[in-house]
Structure 1
Amino acid sequence: MDFPTFLIQLLNSVQYGLLLFMLAAGLTLIFGIIGVVNLAHGSFYMLGAYLAYSLSSLLGSLAVAIACGAVLSVIFGLALEWLLFRHFYERDHLDQVLLTFGLIYIFEEMRSILWGDDVHSVPIPDVLAASIPLTDTLSYPVYRLVISGVCVALAIGLYLLISKTRLGMKIRAGAFNRDMTEALGVNIKLIHAIVFALGVALASVAGMIAAPVSSVYPNMGSQVLIMCFVVVVIGGIGSVRGALIAALLVGLVDTFGKVLLPHISGMLVYMLMAAVLLWKPQGLFKQ
């Protein structure tokens, strides 16, 4: 493998890993802080992709579509938490699994009714449609670099929110000891609603920015859900820092595995997870 090819694969793995982090960060927040096993998390990724398809056609701008879609995703997350999820916080995990598993089918049926079962494409904005030449025959798309940049910016924003703000302090306190936090006057129901809406928005934005390179198609959320759980398990449940490092590791192993070891590439990510769990059963980082 020559250096330009290696560089392209390295950039692809970082971009894929950062996109996985966007998804896994929302999942680990919901699971680690609220305690809900959300199997429908991949459906929020699918929702974002279809919102990007519809809103970009309606508004004529992908950037405006992503901004509007993010707001709509937060509203949708707040409504879904209020209508369904808050009634299952104290229930057994099996009840949560059954609820979210049923939601997958509901969301898929709603997707079929609203958008049909065809595969759709989302055009890349003209200003981002160029490629950076690496050699005479190889180049790298600018839009993929933009995806990585957006994910890094959101990762920094999430870190600052959780670690440096008053809201983040309340979120951390509620995750550590819910009863004590509530006794100190913190509205824990509001905190949980905000965390859930944030998780939905992160997954939805990931779907929106990925739509131009992955297309928009039925059941697309189910394909990323398993990989998200792998990232969460490797990184440590509830750890955003762990989700970032695990997502980058998974991106590297998956991308280079398909190039260097194509015959066993489907096993490599799970072998990585097994190795990490043998070494640290609670994942790389604790909450």
Structure 2
Amino acid sequence: MSSLLLIEQALNGLQFGVMLFLIAAGLTLIFGVMGLINLAHGSLYMVGAFAAAGVSALTGSFLLALVASLAAAAMAGVVIEMTVIRRLYDRDHLDQVLATFALILIFSEGTRYLFGSFPLFLDKPEWLSGTVTLPLGIEYSLYRLTLIGVGLALAAGLFWMIARTRVGIRIRAGENDREMIGALGVNISRLYTLVFALGAALAGFAGALVGAIQSVQIGMGEPVLILAFVVIVIGGIGSIKGAFIGAILVGLTDTLGRFLLPQLFALFMNPSEATSVGSSLASMSIYLLMAGVLLFRPKGLFGEA
């Protein structure tokens, strides 16, 4: 096994992890502040990817496509928060699950109506194509390396906003005692809309960034949503730090598992069987990780009661 190839796969896992964080951070913010289970969060990821692909096809500009993904996902978030989600805050979680599941179907069929059923492709810009030489002579994709840098920069900015700004103070206060901050004059409805739009924008931006690696298609948000839920359960519901650590753990576990397990089983069985068994176990690895964390930390790594 080549150590350089192992490092390359670890970088792929880090890239996957920081993209998961952008999705999971919005999801954990929404649940932490509003107490809302939002199954439609993956659809906002899909909205951002389709908006970016559509604008890129019209203008040829990747940067405009990224701006479009942020704007489209945020606007979609504001619309559904004001028209649907706002009616669910005082309802039980079953009502929230049913309503947001209905939103998944609406977004899927609406996207199919606007863009058709065939996948779209978002081309990487020329200035982010090719590879870059890292220490130890590792040749790595410039675009994936950029995704890591952008994801880490956004994570740092989100941590700073939550910890240092007035909006962040209100968000943290809303997690602990929403009635009290309402009594102090904070507009709760406006705060909820802002948090929902922020979470939606992060998800849509992640969809646009990943859309240049894989095809943009209907239903692309649901598998990512499942992983995002795994991330916030591992990290602790409502914890941004937990979402970041959980996302990195999930990204590395999934990517390295798919790389290492087939090679491990190849020592005991023929290559085709080893690939099949190893890939199956790799798909289970993140759920085994979640089970292991919950066994010792039922509230997650950084969760509170």
2:197 matches 1:197: yes
- The equivalent residue for 2:92 is 92
Q: Deviations over 1:16-65 (max 9, x none)?
A: 00000001001111111111100111111111111111011122211121
| Aligned positions of 1:136-151 closer than 5 A | 139-151=139-151
Letter in 2 for 1:14: L
| 1:100 positional shift | 0.5
Q: Deviations over 1:65-122 (max 9, x none)?
A: 1113312322221121111111110111110000001111111101111111112211
In 2, the alpha carbon distance for the partners of 1:92 and 1:85 equals: 12
Q: Is the 8 A contact 2:17 2:248 kept in 1?
A: yes
- The equivalent residue for 1:213 is 213
| Aligned positions of 1:192-271 closer than 5 A | 192-262=192-262, 263=278, 264-271=281-288
Structure 2 unaligned runs (5+)?
263-277
- The equivalent residue for 2:303 is 286
| 1:138 positional shift | 6.9
| 1:134 positional shift | 6.3
In 2, the alpha carbon distance for the partners of 1:152 and 1:221 equals: 21
| Aligned positions of 1:107-118 closer than 5 A | 107-118=107-118
- The equivalent residue for 2:292 is 275
1:132 is paired with a residue whose SS is: strand
In 2, the alpha carbon distance for the partners of 1:192 and 1:139 equals: 44
Aligned Cα root-mean-square deviation (Å): 1.6
2:85 matches 1:68: no
Q: Is the 8 A contact 1:18 1:248 kept in 2?
A: yes
TM-score (norm 1): 0.96
Letter in 1 for 2:303: K
TM-score (norm 2): 0.91
| 1:133 positional shift | 4.3
- The equivalent residue for 2:102 is 102
Structure 1 unaligned runs (5+)?
none
Q: Is the 8 A contact 1:27 1:199 kept in 2?
A: yes
Q: Is the 8 A contact 1:37 1:93 kept in 2?
A: yes
Q: Is the 8 A contact 1:4 1:134 kept in 2?
A: no
In 2, the alpha carbon distance for the partners of 1:72 and 1:51 equals: 7
In 2, the alpha carbon distance for the partners of 1:113 and 1:84 equals: 21
2:132 is paired with a residue whose SS is: strand
1:191 is paired with a residue whose SS is: helix
- The equivalent residue for 2:160 is 160
Q: Is the 8 A contact 2:47 2:72 kept in 1?
A: no
Letter in 2 for 1:95: D
- The equivalent residue for 2:267 is none
2:213 is paired with a residue whose SS is: helix
2:140 is paired with a residue whose SS is: strand
In 1, the alpha carbon distance for the partners of 2:298 and 2:111 equals: 38
Letter in 2 for 1:53: A
- The equivalent residue for 2:34 is 34
Percent identity (aligned): 48
Q: Is the 8 A contact 2:52 2:68 kept in 1?
A: no
2:187 matches 1:170: no
2:212 is paired with a residue whose SS is: helix
Q: Which has the higher contact order (CA 8 A, sep 6+)?
A: 1
Q: Is the 8 A contact 1:43 1:107 kept in 2?
A: yes
1:39 is paired with a residue whose SS is: coil
